[in-house]
Amino acid sequence: MLEEVMNELAIAAPHIPARRRISSSHTTFIFDEGVLMNAMSFIAGVTQAISAYRAAAQTLDEAKIASATNELQIQLTHLGAEVIAMQKERVQATEREGAALRAKNDLADKVRELERRASERDRYELVDVFMGSFAYKLKSSSSNGEPVHYVCQSCLDNRDMKVVLQRHISGGKDAKCPECNTGFTFNWYRA
């Protein structure tokens, strides 16, 4: 190692004449313009320079590592943002699915209600009680023990209310709807 350093020193310092080098088995003294240098202290300085170079190279490597680490952190941040976006999309899809399910259930409820209303309406038949005055009359086949009665056609069709007409003889009317106050005149022979 010492010989290599000395050779490098000889190459690096060609301006020092060979006759001015004084050498022994362990130490070489270089005499330059009246200054006597110990080779060991020179080597120590060169060794420090080499150590400084290695530290700089290591620092450069650490800078590369730090740069790579920073790049990985940026990629992880982007990946995390994509994961969050995917989770947000999943939450939105779940919300849409829930809204669709609620709408389906609401529609199913409406269908059941319409079926119930149709079933109730099928128990009645529309009859002309007197000269264009219409009411619904309970079918005898659907009475299920109920007495024959009439319900207001307007309330059943428009309000989905089954309102039984009440006998009310006043002003030429025989019956009246207690809900909408429509008066009815009956042809009792036809009704």
Query: Is 191 a domain residue?
Result: no
Please tell me which residue, 38 or 117, carries the higher pLDDT value: 117
Percentage of residues in the chain having pLDDT higher than 70: 70
**By CB neighbour count within 10 A (0-12 exposed, 13-18 middle, 19+ buried), where does 153 fall?**
buried
Please give the residue range of the domain that contains residue 162: 124-184
Q: Residue 134 pLDDT > 80, yes or no? A: yes
Same domain? 71 vs 135: no
Q: Which tokens sit at 117?
A: 């209303």
Same structural domain for residues 2 and 82? yes
Residue 69 within any structural domain of the chain? yes
pTM over 0.75: no
**Same domain flag for 131 and 178:** yes
- For position 108, what pLDDT does the model report? 96
> Given this model, what pLDDT does residue 34 score?
44
Decide which of 73, 88, 103 is a domain's last residue: 88
Which of 88, 108, 138 corresponds to the end of one domain? 88
74 and 130 both lie in a single domain: no
Q: Which residues of 104-133 are buried (b: 16+ CB within 10 A; e: fewer)?
A: eeeeeeeeeeeeeeeeebebbeebebbeeb
Residues 1 and 65 in one domain: yes
- Over the chain, what is the mean pLDDT? 75
Top pLDDT among 191 and 125 is at: 125
Average pLDDT on 138-150 reads: 83
Q: What total of structural domains would you count in the chain?
A: 2
pLDDT tens digits for range 10-38: 555 545 444 444 454 445 555 444 444 55
